[in-house]
């Protein structure tokens, strides 16, 4: 995972891939507080998980296994 800001269109699918050497996840919310909207399973190195974003808005996410270190944002445009 390499969190940052990503701008996509409504209906696009984002693929989260763990390119690191330890387990990570992608959890919806503002680091370090999950908002319960969505969460990936724990991704081992090399594993991926995808989510489609249908509704325009700003979606914050972070790795719940490493709070304060890996926040990211997905901006979904209409």
Using one digit for the tens of pLDDT, what is the confidence trace for 12-31? 999 999 999 999 999 999 99
Using one digit for the tens of pLDDT, what is the confidence trace for 40-68? 999 999 999 999 999 999 999 999 999 89
Q: Using 50, 70 and 90 to split pLDDT, how confident is the model at 2?
A: low
Predicted local confidence at residue 4, as pLDDT: 87
Beta bridge partners of 43: 24
Higher-confidence position of 3 and 34: 34
Q: Using 50, 70 and 90 to split pLDDT, how confident is the model at 37?
A: very high
DSSP track, 10-38: TTEEEEEE--SSS-B--EEEETTEEEEEE
Which CATH number goes with the domain that contains 70?
2.60.40.420
Its domain, for residue 65, covers: 5-77
Q: Give the Cβ contact number of residue 14 at 10 Å.
A: 17
**How far is the C-alpha of 38 from the C-alpha of 61, rounded, in Å?**
9
Give me the number of domains the chain comprises.
1
**How far is the C-alpha of 51 from the C-alpha of 68, rounded, in Å?**
23
């Amino acid at each position: 995972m390499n969190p940052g800001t990503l701008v996509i269109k409504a209906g696009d699918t984002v693929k989260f891939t763990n390119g690191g050497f330890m387990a990570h996840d992608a959890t919806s919310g503002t680091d370090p507080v999950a908002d319960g909207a969505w969460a990936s399973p724990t991704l081992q190195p090399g594993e991926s998980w995808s989510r489609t974003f249908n509704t325009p808005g700003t979606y914050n996410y972070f790795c719940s296994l490493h709070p304060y270190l890996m926040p990211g944002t997905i901006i979904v445009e209409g």
